[in-house]
Amino acid sequence: MTNKVKVSNLGYPRIGKNREWKKTLEAFWSGKTDEATFRSEMAGIQLQHLLTQKEAGIELIPVNDFTFYDHVLDTAVMFGIVPPRYDYEGGDIPLELYFGMARGNTRATACEMTKWFNTNYHYIVPEIGRQTPRLTENKPLAAYRFAKEQAGIEGKPVIVGLYTFLKLSKGFPSTDIADVAGRFLPVYVQLLQELEAEGVAWVQIDEPAIVSGLSEEDQSLLENIYQTLAAAVPGLNIMLQTYFEAAEPLEALLKLPVQGLGLDFVHDGGANLESIQRLGWPEDKWLGAGIIDGRNIWRSDLDAKLQLVEKLAAHVALDQLILQPSSSLLHVPVTVQGEDKLKLTVKNALAFADEKLAELTLIGAAVGGGEASAAALATSREALAAFRALPERARQDVAEQVRGLAALPDNRSLPFAERVKVQQQKWQLPLLPTTTIGSFPQTVEVRQARLKWRKGVWNQERYDLFIRKQIEEAITFQENLGLDVLVHGEFERTDMVEFFGEKLAGYLFTRNGWVQSYGSRCVKPPVIYADIAFIEPMTVKESVYAQSLTKLPVKGMLTGPVTILNWSFVRDDLSREAVANQIALALRHEVLALESAGIEMIQVDEPAIREGLPLKAEDREHYLQWAVKSFRIATNHVKDTTQVHTHMCYSEFNDMIDSISAMDADVISIETSRSHGELIVSFEEQEYDKGIGLGVYDIHSPRVPGVEEMTSNIDRALRVLEPEQFWINPDCGLKTRGWPETEGALRNMVQAAIIVRERVVSR
């Protein structure tokens, strides 16, 4: 082989090496900086990201992947798609309106937020309705000019494709998608023509929705879109980019009039390579080969990657081959450089965004057989071998527990219809009981106390006393509000997965492994590097103390096995099902410890269960089977009177109600307010017989909804649910809010519950 391949990137993390992006955003939102300063600081961050990629040797550097909040929101406002409730009358979109759509404001609720395919990133859902799009600003063009002028980079503008944009949008019947596409095509043409006129060589049009499966109508729509674009911009090279799964049917996609097709060769299960080997590859098309994992943090097996390139080279000319990550690097942290607290054997097995770029350039060099790459390849090979040999990655006690799963009971001892009667007798809760999802505001005082404890400034005794004081205040606060089922507040927890990972064997933690979840919200996923095992009780101390302060029930709060899995970076040598079973067995010990300590309302949250759902319909049943099973492994051994709760959020559940019911939780709470109650429609069409709480207000917005608004939300739910099964709660995430707005909103929620309760009882 000769070194003719190009090296490209699909997107770079926005948040900055030290989360500068997050800090800049929040300073602007809090009024600490003005708009001019905000824009200047953001431009500096954007420039640094471009220069980092240039210095790494990336030839095709993405531009317009940088955003002030979310790339899908950027696309919507670029086309003037603003919901009518914001009273937008055309023209430029000011930052106040842009952030209002993302976060809500005093005048209007925020747009819906949901998961970006099967990742833990959240995007803002466009609300199209009958609006006629127009180009308010050519953001890709502005990003291209910025890169060229400030960094001397001929960038590759990145655009959310029209097909994907419409598939991710709401506000029109799905049967009208072709007509809606017809309204958008002229502005896409205008955008691309302006790029062509500027001299742009390559444009990356992201169409990940393709991998979810294409009907004949979808294929026809794609063909119409890309024929129109190709005719309008004959001098522009279009890379039609897919990721997260196999792109099928590949033969249909290869017929589209684009110059390149980007495929994921990491998360496709081998299907993309198999299709190329079966079909061949057109001589007139470039292949964007996603060979480095853009979603996980492990060093690549570079020998295996070179073998993959050799297989591709048998069908694709090297001068038509572009090596790239499997997806945008948005989903991984920035760099491993600062991780000086990790064991060297483990640190050497990690690769964050910057290290992945280095792997790509190394593979590109190695394709040419250069001696300079041989030493680096040997170093990588040795690092992986040392990591794989760690004894904690093959624990015999864990393997024995997993083998014993077959002998465990699969169900609770009583079915729900009988269980609910003994639980009602035990708990004596009022109609429409009120509760919260678990966390309360994590104030500066709480965060500073935790930091002092972690740094050793406070000893364990002082920190425990502080946490007890917070719990005492939270219990009093809830009792004064009139809530029926209380929580301890989770003040000791940084993150709902990290907290448990720190107490389980098999996890490690980075210092700066942050990734964006939504807006300025960043999370630092723990890393599953070895076998997961229970060590000692993790939540009993705080839960028992909270229960000792009140006669009302206090829920024990755990994170479920599938959420712990999906919100972690997971080892890549075992199936996700196998790792989920290990976590479930560890949580089973914790549930038993809580129950034995007298905590008999236990909430095992699974907010991420849907985000792990495979994108292809034919793969979903198997996933749901093992996801449900793992939840039941953790919870099905409790007494009949012990009430198991769970919580889910940010998802559409109408197509998996049966699986949710099969989890056999006594009470489930589901986010609905951010989606403006649309999930309620599911219960008009499908029966659900267990306890359920549909969030009656959105905690992600700083606004405090009134009693009347929440009463209306409760009434809407009671049109399809029986009062005896309905619980009243907010959506999850009160930890992100301040105490004044939390108190105001919860007080209104309790008052709304009382109003509706009295109305129902008096019927």
Which residues carry out catalysis?
700
Give the number of other Cβ atoms within 10 Å of residue 40's Cβ.
12
* The 691-694 sheet, strands edge to edge: 556-559, 601-605, 643-648, 667-670, 691-694, 726-727
Q: Which amino acid is at 570?
A: V
Binding-site residues sit at: 19-22, 115, 120, 437-439, 490, 521-522, 567, 605, 611, 647, 649, 671, 732
For the record, the structure tokens of 336 come out as 């491993």
Nearest to 542 by CA among 472, 607, 633: 472
Contact 705, 738 (CB under 8 A): no
Edge-to-edge order in the sheet of strand 569-570: 504-508, 527-534, 569-570
Query: What whole-number distance in Å separates Cα of residue 1 and Cα of residue 313?
Result: 9
Bridge-partner residues for 203, per DSSP?
238
Count Cα neighbours of 432 within 13 Å in the Cβ-side half-sphere.
26
Rounded Cα gap, residues 586 and 1, in angstroms: 50
**Tokens 């309760």 -> residue:** 757
- Determine the Cα–Cα distance for residues 228 and 42; give it in Å rounded to an integer: 35
Amino acid in the structure at residue 350: L
Which residues fall in the annotated binding site for 5-methyltetrahydropteroyltri-L-glutamate?
19-22, 115, 120, 521-522, 567, 611
Positive or negative torsion for Cα 441, 444, 449, 453: positive
DSSP 338: T
Name the binding residues for Zn(2+): 647, 649, 671, 732
| Residues 405 and 633: beta-carbon distance below 8 Å | yes
Binding-site residue positions for L-methionine: 437-439, 490, 605
Assess contact for 600 and 642: CB atoms under 8 A.
yes
Q: Locate tokens 């060589």: which residue?
A: 201
Q: Are 606 and 562 in contact (CB under 8 A)?
A: yes
CA-based nearest residue to 120, from 627, 511, 523: 523
Per-residue tokens: 89:
């009358």
- Strand 515-518 with 667-670, pairing: unpaired
User: How long is the chain?
Assistant: 763
Pair 605, 562: CB distance under 8 Å: no
d(CA 487, CA 433): 14
305, two tokens: 């990657």
380 exposed, middle or buried (CB, 10 Å; 0-12, 13-18, 19+)? buried
Distance CA 326, CA 652 (A): 26
Contact 695, 734 (CB under 8 A): no
Tell me the binding residues for L-homocysteine: 437-439, 490, 605
- Which helix (DSSP H) or strand (DSSP E) does residue 202 occupy? strand 202-206
HSE of 677 in the Cβ direction (CA atoms, 13 Å)? 16
Helices (H), 671-706: 682-685
Name the token pair of 700.
Answer: 């992600």
The dihedral built from the CA positions of residue 135, 140, 144 and 145, taken in this order, carries a sign that is positive
- Beta-carbon contacts of residue 588 (< 8 Å; ≥ 6 apart): 633, 634, 635, 637
CA-to-CA dists, residue 699 to 221, 498, 559, angstroms: 38, 22, 19
Beta strands in 309-425 (DSSP E): 321-325
